[in-house]
């Protein structure tokens, strides 16, 4: 399926959410800089880091829709004779359901769907890099997640699963300061 057609279908399906508005929370929130640790599911990699940004619209007090952009980097043991390096980028449409709302304390469960692009390299000798040691690809992916908002701070555990064997799946723990968002006033709801 063409990615642009898929994106248009998702936006059309969520258009009714975008006309709704949350009564008790600010309508727009932005995770300015999401940072985290990644643990790829591939046996070639040990771990890495991820960074990104996400903008969400609070359609109701319990539901938000957004767009997430992320880059993840991971590597094998850097002291080994052969080093594997990988990276993935993603552009996802996200949705979160807030399980409870007590002021700025909001645990949530969510999912994202969109396009993942990945690249990997195997480095045996820095002086003689072989083009055969580089690969890449892209594919559709799904990201279920659980997390917690504490006022203007957000923590989430996410599993980034792709339907392509050319992009590594990875688990990540992400933290982010959130601009805007939060309760419309300081009262408990």
Each domain of the chain, given as residue ranges in start order, spans: 3-180
**Cα(126)–Cα(115) distance, rounded to whole angstroms?**
31
To the nearest 10°, the Cα dihedral for 6, 8, 12, 13? 20
pLDDT at 189: 42
What integer pLDDT is reported at residue 61 of this predicted model?
Answer: 80
Give the pLDDT of residue 158: 97
CATH number corresponding to 3-180 = 2.40.160.20
Residues in the chain: 189
pTM, two decimals, is 0.78
- Give the tokens for residue 57: 């619209």
Average pLDDT per run of 10 along the chain, which is 189 residues long?
Answer: 63 56 74 92 82 92 92 80 83 93 84 92 67 80 95 93 88 92 58
Q: Are 178 and 130 in contact (CB under 8 A)?
A: no
Quick one: 111 exposed, middle or buried, by C-beta within 10 A (0-12, 13-18, 19+)? middle
Give the Cα separation of 80 and 170 in Å (integer).
Answer: 22
Which of 108, 97, 115, 114 lies closest to 17 in space, CA to CA? 97
């Amino acid at each position: 399926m063409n990615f642009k057609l898929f994106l248009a279908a998702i936006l059309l399906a969520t258009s009714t959410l975008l006309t709704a508005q949350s009564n008790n929370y600010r309508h727009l929130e932005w995770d300015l800089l999401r940072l985290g640790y990644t643990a790829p599911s591939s046996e070639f990699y040990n771990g890495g880091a991820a960074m990104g940004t996400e903008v969400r619209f609070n359609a109701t007090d319990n539901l938000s829709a957004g767009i997430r952009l992320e880059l993840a980097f991971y590597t094998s043991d850097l002291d080994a004779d052969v080093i594997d390096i990988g990276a993935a980028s993603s552009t996802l449409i996200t949705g979160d359901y807030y399980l409870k709302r007590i002021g700025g304390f909001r645990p949530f469960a969510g999912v994202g769907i969109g396009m993942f692009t990945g690249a990997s390299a195997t480095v045996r000798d820095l002086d003689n890099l072989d083009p055969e040691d580089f690969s890449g690809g892209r594919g559709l992916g799904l990201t279920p997640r659980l997390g917690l908002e504490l006022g203007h701070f957000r923590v989430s555990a996410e599993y980034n699963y792709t339907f392509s064997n050319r992009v590594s799946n990875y688990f990540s723990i992400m933290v982010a300061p959130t601009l805007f968002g939060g309760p419309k006033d300081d009262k408990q709801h």
